[in-house]
Amino acid sequence: MSEEFKLKLTSRPRRLRSSPSRRSMVEESRVTSADLIAPMFVIDGGGDPEAVESMPGVYRLNVERLVVECEELFSLGIPAVALFPCLEPSQKDYKGSGALDPHALVLRAVRAIKEKTPGLTVITDIALDPYTTHGHDGILTDDETDVANDATVEVLMKMAVLHAEAGVDFVAPSDMMDGRVGAIRAALNEAGSTQTGIIAYSAKFASAFYGPFRDAVGSATARGKPSLDKRTYQLNPANRREALKETRLDEAEGADVLMVKPAGPCLDIIREVRGGTELPVAAYQVSGEYAQIHAAAERGWLDLNACRNESLLAIKRAGADMILTYFARVATEKRG
């Protein structure tokens, strides 16, 4: 090409990418600590933190250590945590009756966190899988072939009221039973808990990316199998329209926030949900997404920090207002 050759271009998009300051000025999406929610695993007793083998850097914490960790997260600017109890087998039964224990582990954790860090938003999971010996999210039918929808919802209503009474800010039904959001909203209102919000797992897919989480809460092999089949209540990953229908139903039933799970494989769903509602949209970067980034980085195939940040940015760019992620603390610390 001759030295005299010049393209006669009116628009040169690279002008806006030519320096760090220019790139910063025109950056369309940013992930801040205020966008992040930290999922936390809580255990009973007074022992040391228990490492989750399939999730490097993630631990099960007793209530005392959980309170300290929550205080530190809040000081970093992370506004919310989502709690998941990990119970001993002796604390579980076939019907998940421990979910209605007013002194349940997760309720004790909520009260302790709120006493120490009242400004932190606390979210609790509303589902029966941590409490059942079979590992499903609800009560099984008599023939044990499925989860009984209405019987499960009846328990979830009572469970949500207990959580509200303990001081939780949001209950998050993750069970995917039909009608549970409306029933929980009615139960909360009747109990006087009108300020307790609902973050609905509206588009929760039957994903292969949940495995490490089930290890963390002890439900992965509850029925003697490597993976539970939850396809009668969780969404088919192939179905876009069905996911949008579920989010519309949850909004109509009184959800305050709509959630898509998993986040990374469902960026298209996040975008469509964002475009179809005025409600805040949450997305859950699940355990398998976290684990695969770590695994590839440990082999030297990917840059951990760069891939972590890019994965979170993609979720935010797709339209999520808030992101549940096991990277919450480290992403905030590295950014700071």
Q: Does 189 have pLDDT greater than 80? A: yes
- What share of the chain has pLDDT > 70, as a percent? 96
CATH of residue 272's domain is 3.20.20.70
Alpha helices by DSSP H, listed for the chain, are 20-25, 63-75, 105-116, 149-166, 180-190, 211-217, 240-252, 267-276, 287-298, 304-318, 328-335
Tell me whether residue 15 is in a domain: no
Domain count, the chain: 1
Among candidate residues 204, 230, 245, 316, the one labeled active-site is: 204
29-33, 47-51, 100-104, 244-248: range with lowest mean pLDDT = 47-51
pLDDT at position 216 is: 81
224: pLDDT confidence band, cut at 50, 70 and 90? Answer: very low
pLDDT at position 47 is: 86
Question: Is 204 among the catalytic positions?
Answer: yes
The Cα–Cα gap between 111 and 124 comes to 12
pLDDT at position 215 is: 78
Q: What is the pTM of this model?
A: 0.95
Tell me whether residue 14 is in a domain: no
Tell me whether residue 95 is in a domain: yes
228: pLDDT confidence band, cut at 50, 70 and 90? Answer: confident
223: pLDDT confidence band, cut at 50, 70 and 90? Answer: very low
222: pLDDT confidence band, cut at 50, 70 and 90? Answer: very low
Tell me whether residue 21 is in a domain: no
CB 122 within 8 A of CB 114: yes
331: pLDDT confidence band, cut at 50, 70 and 90? Answer: very high
Tens digits of residue pLDDT in 271-311: 999 999 999 999 999 999 999 999 999 999 999 999 999 99
The number of angstroms, rounded, from the C-alpha of 52 to the middle of its chain's C-alpha atoms is: 17
Task: Find tokens 């760019």 and name the residue.
Answer: 317
pLDDT at position 214 is: 78
- What share of the chain has pLDDT > 90, as a percent? 90
220: pLDDT confidence band, cut at 50, 70 and 90? Answer: low
pLDDT at position 335 is: 66
Return the structure tokens found at 170: 């949001």
Q: Does 42 have pLDDT greater than 50? A: yes
Tens digits of residue pLDDT in 166-184: 999 999 999 999 999 999 9
pLDDT at position 334 is: 73
pLDDT at position 110 is: 98
CB 246 within 8 A of CB 203: yes
Among candidate residues 92, 95, 261, 316, the one labeled active-site is: 261
Mean pLDDT score, 24-38: 97
Mean pLDDT score, 72-82: 98
CA distances from 63 to 24, 58, 81, 108 (A): 41, 15, 14, 8
Query: Residue 255's closest CA among 263, 265, 247, 266?
Result: 247
Tell me whether residue 25 is in a domain: no
Question: Is 334 among the catalytic positions?
Answer: no
pLDDT at position 6 is: 87
Mean pLDDT score, 316-330: 98
Domain extent at residue 66: 30-335
Mean pLDDT score, 87-114: 96
Mean pLDDT score, 13-32: 96
Tell me whether residue 1 is in a domain: no
Tell me whether residue 100 is in a domain: yes
Tell me whether residue 6 is in a domain: no
